Amino acid sequence: MLRIMVVDDERIEREALKMMISREMEEAEIIAEAGNGRQAIEMAKAEHPDLILMDIKMPGIDGVEAVNEIKKELPDIRFIMVSAFDTFEYAKKVMQQGVKEYLLKPSKKDEVIESIRRVQAEIDQEHEELEDKRQLERKFNKALDFMQSEWAVSLLVDHVQELDLKEWGELLDVNFKCGYAIVVEKTNQEVDRRVWLDWLKNYVNSHSADSILLSPNHEEKLPLFFLTDKIDGNDKNGFKTYILPFIRNLIHQCELYFQFKPHVAIGLPYRSVHQLSRSYYEALHTLESIQSDEHVTYKFSTDESNSENGATVAFQKEKDLLESIKSGDATRALQKFEFYLNELSNDAVIDLKRSVSSLNEFFIIATRMINDLGIPVNRFIPYNQISSYQELKEESTRLLREIVEKVQTWRMVQAKGKLENAKDYIEKHYYDPLTLEMVASHVELSPYYLSKLFKEKKGITFIDFLTHIRIEKAKEYLMEPEISVKEVCFKVGYKDPNYFSRVFKKIVGQSPKQYRTVLQPS
């Protein structure tokens, strides 16, 4: 419904305009009227009409001045100026205010209605464009969320080894010198998990100067990857100084908002994309050492309590073992685990229970890493079932094998399912102007990862696969003589017939016309 206000110092003119509009336009509603410029300004602010029919020549504040004042606060209101004076100066003044419609008194019914309908069409078009823009923004934000999620998952399962930081930054449209991981734990089980996660994501996005990748989360702990150009990955002391105010303020704001202090573990900064996952493991390992002490709410992985000298097994060896687990390489993981157990056996003679505890601590970290991907696995080796180091070795090896096998299954199912969805989408929409980004968004993957899947699983690129589908469809159409080559070109998704012919000949060895001639000799 178009909401209209009529402004004229002559009552009979207002009534005439109101009658015309009411009789001729069911989709319009007169919501207010005013007899001078001052009233018009006040009524416009109170009623917020879509359109004002404004008389120009009025005592006191005239129509031009009233338009100027109203537009200062309500710039979206449209105006149709009405005047008994057909002069260039009046027209010039209202045009300077952005007013496009100008009626002369006495106004004819058809002229009034046509003028209003033109304004209504303009408003409708603007609303459609605004809605299209909102839809585009929603799709973009959804695609961005998917992309961020995929990049974060790729870090956790090592799907970005071929990229260096510079290439990665170009894909994400950010510049950075290093990256680091933070894991934030919700320590109050009574607080709604979704509300807390939404708050945390909004907080880090609005208060951190760095670009952030949010990882999927299935527990009370949220892994965050930060990419920054403010510090260098080699400057560990500078990194602490840089990140500490943000961490302290995050904890403080969370306490104000939810009445609890979260635990925050910070991994080291690294310059290489190959090392970013290490920062995540460091943060996970550090999180386990934070006690339920209100004075210990955050810790850096370089803290003394997290050093190699204080650990039963070297932290670096744990990280290497975690690397092999997330890769899904069972042989490599079991070999490294054998070395890990040999180191641990030095303590077995002294205290078997302590060895079980150490292994459980390792499996907590390992399974949390896997659970973050949505893969449910067991975490603990039961104390009461272990009576010897040999039993400990057998049980822990079985648990490790179970974890690695589930990672392998997850990798295969995820890759196959997403790739098959992408193939189906291309085969159904080959005639559309498809791009890698469009298809990746549809299957909820990053463009890079989808491209990588095509190369790994199909041995061809995305473009090669799309081209193959289009050319095969073109062959089918060329068998129908009533369809011209130009029509075939458009039907299979190409816009330029010359380009289509070149691509067809390159793949088939003949031009479309030659191919058709062979199929249908005269």
Distance CA 346, CA 342 (A): 7
Q: In what helix (H) or strand (E) does residue 102 lie, and over which residues does it extend? A: strand 101-104
* pLDDT per position as a tens digit, 415-448: 677 788 889 999 999 999 888 888 888 887 667 6
Q: Tell me if 225 sits within 8 A of 280, measured CB to CB.
A: yes
Domain annotation covers residue 370: no
Distance CA 11, CA 132 (A): 42
Choose one of 254, 270, 302: the last residue of a domain.
Answer: 302
Distance CA 314, CA 311 (A): 6
Choose one of 248, 273, 302: the last residue of a domain.
Answer: 302
Same domain for 179 and 80?
no
* pLDDT per position as a tens digit, 54-64: 988 888 888 88
Residues 6+ apart with CB under 8 A from 224: 181, 182, 183, 184, 204, 212, 213, 214, 215
Same domain for 187 and 247?
yes
Q: Which of 320, 383, 381 is nearest to 351 (CA)?
A: 383
User: Is the pLDDT assigned to residue 499 strictly greater than 70?
Assistant: yes
* pLDDT per position as a tens digit, 141-184: 554 454 455 555 555 544 444 444 455 555 555 566 788 889 88
Q: Which of 303, 305, 277, 297 is nearest to 365 (CA)?
A: 277
Residues 6+ apart with CB under 8 A from 250: 184, 203, 204, 207, 262, 264
Same domain for 70 and 167?
no
Same domain for 171 and 298?
yes
CATH number of the domain bearing residue 59: 3.40.50.2300
Distance CA 225, CA 405 (A): 27
* pLDDT per position as a tens digit, 272-320: 666 777 787 788 778 877 765 567 789 988 644 444 443 334 456 666 7
pLDDT value of position 389: 79
Same domain for 254 and 298?
yes
Q: What percent of the chain has pLDDT over 70?
A: 75
Same domain for 27 and 84?
yes
Backbone angle region of 74, left / alpha / beta, with phi > 0 → left and psi within -120 to 50 → alpha: beta
Q: Which of 380, 377, 381, 369 is nearest to 403 (CA)?
A: 377
Q: How far is CA 222 from CA 40, 184, 187, 413, 420, in A?
A: 55, 5, 12, 24, 30
Q: Count of alpha carbons within 13 Å of 146, Cβ hemisphere only?
A: 20
CATH number of the domain bearing residue 482: 1.10.10.60
Q: Tell me if 155 sits within 8 A of 276, measured CB to CB.
A: yes
Q: How far is CA 46 from CA 30, 49, 54, 62, 74, in A?
A: 14, 9, 17, 19, 11
Q: Is beta strand 78-83 parallel, antiparallel or unpaired with respect to 178-185?
A: unpaired
Q: Which domain holds residue 32?
A: 2-128
Domain annotation covers residue 296: yes
Same domain for 50 and 115?
yes
Domain annotation covers residue 512: yes
Q: How many CB atoms lie within 10 A of CB 479?
A: 11
Domain annotation covers residue 154: no
Query: Between these two residues, 44 and 170, which has the higher pLDDT value?
Result: 44
Q: Is 428 exposed, middle or buried (0-12, 13-18, 19+ CB in 10 A)?
A: exposed
Q: Tell me if 219 sits within 8 A of 246, measured CB to CB.
A: no
Q: Tell me if 9 sits within 8 A of 36, measured CB to CB.
A: yes
Flag the least confident range among 34-38, 145-149, 462-466. Answer: 145-149
Same domain for 120 and 250?
no
Choose one of 302, 326, 360: the last residue of a domain.
Answer: 302
Provide the number of structural domains found in the chain: 3
